[in-house]
Amino acid sequence: AKDVLTLEELSSEEIVSLIQLAVQLKKQRAETGSNPNVLQGKVLAMIFDKSSTRTRVSFETGMLHLGGHGMFLSGKELQLGRGETIEDTAKVLSQYVDAIMIRTFEHEKVAELAKHAAIPVINGLTDGHHPCQALADLQTIYEEKGTFEGVKLTYVGDGNNVLHSLLIGGAKVGLHVAAACPAGYEPNEEIVNTAKEIAKKTGAVIEVMENPQAAVQGADFLYTDVWTSMGQEEEAAKRLQDFAAYQVNEQLVQWAKPDYKFLHCLPAHRGEEVTAEVIDGPQSAVFEQAGNRLHAQKAVLAALLQ
């Protein structure tokens, strides 16, 4: 694939091979302190219309590790934020840099950018998808289990962009993905149906339900994400009430396998979607998972830019 906009455009083999490359790059760095200098002289433009800690720092560091450079561009400081078209922006940036990573709101904006760019475009999060996060999540699962076969990942909470990418990515690699979301907060129906179609070919199991205990039963990995984020301040009180039964706490984790691991894409709101006991407890893998953003994205950059 030229771009990484969603995990749907990548084949199952491409996803597994990216994960294996990420594991290899991680191992090389841990064992020798070195990185392959495969992107020497390459420049990644990183457009952010929204704030970020992990995505920004891991992409910029990833480019540096591979011998290239990551250039931070605030969306509102670009002419794009003052009315220049996406098409013109894509064509102009294609003259200067070797790839674009963009974090923005509407998924269509990223698709439009990729359509007109002569260089690879990577989705660093849109309202619809968070593919780089899901790649790091799948890497974390693969490193723990050594396989995706027979592994159950349960997601509880908001049917958002993170869940969308987990459903598609999980379906591609043959995971059992069970999601429990309150009524009114379900994932996009079209994405769920796409994941179910993919699952028919890969042996994955894709389930979306309302009951959190049923979804968590027998889970190897238990994943959640924030209930309220920037831009949702006005509906925050209602959301906190609607999601109350979906908190990952000592009671809910009893339904998972005894050796379950807790995952969260971060940032986390302790006391809302997860208790401090769980996220800071011995079965939490959230910082390893955050660390894997660096390795998974280095694999994406190396694969797209070499």
The answer to whether 269 is a known catalytic residue is: no
Closer residue to ligand CP in complex, CB, 17/52: 52
Kindly identify the residues of this chain, within the stretch 89-128, that bind ligand CP according to CB under 6 A: 125
Catalytic residue among 65, 129, 130, 264: 130
User: Closest CB to ligand CP among 79 and 232?
Assistant: 232
> Could you give phi then psi for residue 71, rounded to 5 degrees?
-110, 115
DSSP designation for 9: G
Neighbour-count burial of 258, counting CB atoms closer than 10 A to its CB (0-12 exposed, 13-18 middle, 19+ buried):
exposed
- Catalytically annotated residue among 265, 289, 295, 297: 265
79 among the known binding-site residues?
Answer: yes
Q: Print the binding letters for residues 53-92 with ligand CP: x by CB under 6 A, - otherwise.
A: xxx-------------------------------------
Residue 239, annotated as binding a ligand:
no
Contact call for residue 52 and ligand CP (CB under 6 A)? yes
Q: Is 20 a catalytic residue?
A: no
Q: In angstroms, what is the minimal distance from the CB of 55 to ligand CP?
A: 3
133 a catalytic residue: yes
Report yes or no: 52 and 78 within 8 Å, Cβ to Cβ. no
Please tell me which residue in 3, 107, 129, 133 is annotated as part of the active site.
133
Total residues contacting ligand CP by CB under 6 A comes to 8
Answer yes or no: is 217 a known binding residue. no
Contact range with ligand CP by CB under 6 A, out of 23-31, 48-56, 83-91, 273-281:
48-56
Structure tokens at 209: 């339900």
> Is residue 154 part of an annotated ligand binding site?
no
Cα separation, 57 vs 67, in Å, equals 16
User: Which of 13-21, 51-59, 112-120, 216-224 is the region at the interface with ligand CP (rule: CB under 6 A)?
Assistant: 51-59
Nearer CB in complex with ligand CP: 286/302 = 286
Annotated binding-site residue? 103: yes
Q: Would you say 130 is a known binding-site residue?
A: yes
Q: How far apart are CA 138 and CA 14, in angstroms?
A: 13
Residues 114 and 3 sit within 8 Å (Cβ to Cβ): yes
To the question of whether residue 20 is assigned a binding role by annotation, the answer is no
CA 110 to CA 107: how far, in whole Å?
Answer: 5
Q: Which two tokens stand for residue 249?
A: 């706490």
How far, CA to CA in Å, does 96 sit from each of 42, 43, 51, 58, 151? 10, 8, 24, 22, 44
Rounded to 10 deg, the angle between the 12-32 and 286-305 helix axes is 110
Q: Is 176 a catalytic residue?
A: no
Confirm or reject binding of residue 23 to ligand CP (CB under 6 A).
Answer: no
> What is the DSSP annotation of 58-95?
HHHHHHHHTT-EEEEEEGGGSGGGGT--HHHHHHHHHH
Q: Which of 7, 65, 52 is nearest to 305 (CA)?
A: 65
DSSP bridge partners of 248:
274
Query: CB of residue 56 vs ligand CP: minimum separation in angstroms?
Result: 6
Instruction: Provide the CA 280 distance to its chain's centre, in angstroms.
Output: 21
Q: How far is the CB of 125 from ligand CP (least distance, A)?
A: 6
* 232 lies in the binding site for ligand CP (CB under 6 A): no
Is residue 299 within 8 Å of residue 22, measured between CB atoms?
yes
Q: Site residues (CB under 6 A) for ligand CP?
A: 52-55, 125, 133, 265-266
Bind-site residues: 52-55, 79, 103, 130-133, 161, 225, 229-230, 265-266, 293
Catalytic residue annotation = 103, 130, 133, 225, 265, 293
Bind-site residues for carbamoyl phosphate: 52-55, 79, 103, 130-133, 265-266, 293
